[in-house]
Structure 1
């Protein structure tokens, strides 16, 4: 049945979903028109919101670009390639390959969202080298695991409200992760998704006659080609000692961060870890630079599109449109249904404000007073916003850009499969938030 349903979804998306750059241009126009029509903002004001906010994601854009590049370089090191090949060898047929890559992506995304995006895509490429399987579904499966990130260890909303001086502390106090990330309802939701997401992906596997395969030779790299030494400078570029003199202190810094200072994982730490592991495991600067040359090719979408999303976010927040959307959804909620409507509203807002922390800053002033007035469970409402933010990432190509860059695909190649997951995971999360 799911194979039957996925076929028209895939064809529909392949035919009508534009390139993510066109998608972000359309979202820009929609947000601008809505701000003028709904919030009564002047065109000049909207243009100023957009222009002033256009570069607000520069730090995050660089972080995301480094997620792609450092993860790619790490995966191209000989030890990691051997490990990925060993794990991929556990898959004996296309169906087991789909299940395995989904489980790896789910677990990696639960640990850290940046880690999940890169690991899932790189592992999928290794599977494609060994197993003849529909490459579109394989990459879609790797991306679908991302849906659990906001219910995991790096969820920005639960970690924010667990911080001593967060911006809503006077309203709700400090809410520990035992009431959010490690609560029964959240763990039950995760358990359901760890079962259903791999199963749905497996059931969508097309027949061989309808599948799209990739030539394994295309996925190979040239890292093992002998590098000649013809100049004195070549000795430095191929010096293992030089690489290790810098790389090993970087890894020691991470040991200090985790063991002695009790630090945790965040995007900067993940990038630092990927980079210095790549420096050490590539063994020479020249091998690292060759890998960098290959990795950078997939980063064009991030460089071009993320500033436009920053502009959209500025329009949504400063015009009041995001707050109006949230208020509209909760206006008819009850104590029992508020988590559900919070989830739905967060999913809609996420299409225009694809940032967990930024979205919470917009929606918390609406959701939290509503929860207090209705007597609803505040940790559950907060997690409903978190899950809504993660859920529609299955439709929003913003977060898929690093995965697509690594895989060498376009959004239209995977979003048809993700659309089926959107409806199924949405139903599971909505039921869990309401009844678990």
Structure 2
């Protein structure tokens, strides 16, 4: 997608000096020069993990090759769950009712700075609801704002959508709290199940998440470049997606009529709603990855109307998962090397060993951020860090829910420097990773106090 510089008169609201501008420019320059494509990034991390494990652990090259190969396909089931989160979220976001709502909300913004704030705010809120939905709807909403405000900086609009992703682990689709509350998870035998009342619905989590929802749009506003430096996009290239619904003629075959039958779609939706009712009736408000995906699927079926309309939306959504599907096996291999070689434990224990009861959540958060470069997955963090962080938290008398959330926060925070989960938004936007990551890295630096204060007190 081509972008062009859009000169214009200076605006005092944007052109006045603010301390964020030099940080944003410096980080944008650094990223544009040195951050490779996400696939190359994953390969380099594989090599780095391989070398560090040989250096710091008793394992030799043959051991590490065996671990990498054994782990390469180890997360296929989890990969499918994550892909479904993205696909069902995208399919729901592309439905006509949701797009109509996005159009009406986008009309609220009248200026470029209002546009980036609105995009970031909408992304932050929707990521609390569901991270796959938030990732996709944020990028689609950014495109809608770009259509309505041509002088907006397109790079910052898409970056603002991804910056809103920083709230996801405090919301309803947060993988670590949901996995920790799910029977059969890797830490159940060690620390038991941790109910979401002790993680997602705690006062500190609600406080951190609300603070991010408020602060992130302000950061995006302050990062907006001067009008003469804006990189805009040709509005002709921002055509809305075609409707997935089909209007049948009088000579349509019985097979075509079944495919476009609203009745069949609603029957499946009714089955899903019935199951969810029984599930919550028996287990209370028990959200996990599978129930979240089912909720998104049922909602998408209802809003698209017919099974084939929904199938077309899913087909459109699946294209955005291409980069993730290629890279996830590499990160699965890295995860197994980190876990089985003991390298992940060495890194985590380095932080844990110097921790006290008061500082433990902060240090667990920082270790999680570091490990996120190699394992950019909440569920993966639970596997790699849980066996070290959770028993140590139990021994020090640290609240187990807070220890789990510290791992979760470190993962969502460092996503602003790890481009893996930006891929769906970039696929929708038609941009490259270097176009947005400088802005994201700025948000990473400026939001650190929110997490540190929330975890320490």
Same fold (TM over 0.5): yes
Q: Pick from 34, 41, 45 the counterpart of residue 27 of structure 1.
A: 45
Is 1:386 matched up with 2:408? yes
Q: 1:268–1:170: structure 2 CA closer, same or farther, 3 Å change rule?
A: closer
Q: Distance in 2 between matches of 1:368 and 1:136?
A: 39
1:62-83 per-residue CA deviation (whole Å, 9 max, x = no partner) reads 3444444444444444333222
Give the 5 Å matches for 1:95-134: 95-132=113-150, 133-134=152-153
1:350-369 per-residue CA deviation (whole Å, 9 max, x = no partner) reads 21122223322332332233
The farther-off stretch of 249-258 and 82-91 is 249-258
Preserved CA contact (<8 Å) 1:103 1:145: yes
Question: Alignment partner of 1:328: what SS?
Answer: helix
Give the 5 Å matches for 1:36-435: 36-132=54-150, 133-163=152-182, 167-169=186-188, 171-221=190-240, 223=242, 239=257, 242-262=260-280, 266-272=288-294, 274=296, 278=300, 281-282=303-304, 294-434=316-456
Question: Alignment partner of 1:253: what SS?
Answer: helix
Q: 1:178–1:98: structure 2 CA closer, same or farther, 3 Å change rule?
A: same
Q: Distance in 2 between matches of 1:163 and 1:61?
A: 17
Preserved CA contact (<8 Å) 1:258 1:264: no
Per-residue deviation, 1:174: 4.4
TM-score normalised per structure 2: 0.85
1:249-288 per-residue CA deviation (whole Å, 9 max, x = no partner) reads 2221232133343275554455555556555555567766
Question: Alignment partner of 2:74: what SS?
Answer: coil
Q: 1:188–1:288: structure 2 CA closer, same or farther, 3 Å change rule?
A: closer
Per-residue deviation, 1:431: 2.2
Per-residue deviation, 1:170: 5.7
Q: Distance in 1 between matches of 2:176 and 2:89?
A: 25
1:144-199 per-residue CA deviation (whole Å, 9 max, x = no partner) reads 12212222223333334445665545654544433322222222222221221111
Q: 1:76–1:225: structure 2 CA closer, same or farther, 3 Å change rule?
A: closer
Q: Which runs of 5+ in 1 are unaligned?
A: none
Q: 1:414–1:289: structure 2 CA closer, same or farther, 3 Å change rule?
A: same
The farther-off stretch of 95-104 and 71-80 is 71-80
Per-residue deviation, 1:139: 1.2
The farther-off stretch of 420-429 and 178-187 is 178-187
Preserved CA contact (<8 Å) 1:112 1:265: no
Question: Alignment partner of 2:366: what SS?
Answer: helix
Q: Distance in 2 between matches of 1:309 and 1:356?
A: 12
Per-residue deviation, 1:102: 1.5
Per-residue deviation, 1:13: 1.0
Q: 1:305–1:171: structure 2 CA closer, same or farther, 3 Å change rule?
A: closer
Preserved CA contact (<8 Å) 1:124 1:138: yes
Q: Distance in 1 between matches of 2:382 and 2:245?
A: 51
Q: Distance in 2 between matches of 1:67 and 1:163?
A: 17
Preserved CA contact (<8 Å) 1:64 1:402: no
Superposition RMSD on alpha carbons, in Å?
2.9
Q: Distance in 2 between matches of 1:331 and 1:20?
A: 33
Q: Which runs of 5+ in 2 are unaligned?
A: 1-18
TM-score normalised per structure 1: 0.89
Preserved CA contact (<8 Å) 1:102 1:144: yes
Between Structure 1 and Structure 2, how many residues are aligned? 434
Preserved CA contact (<8 Å) 1:150 1:390: yes
Q: 1:235–1:413: structure 2 CA closer, same or farther, 3 Å change rule?
A: farther
1:124-147 per-residue CA deviation (whole Å, 9 max, x = no partner) reads 222222123111111111111221
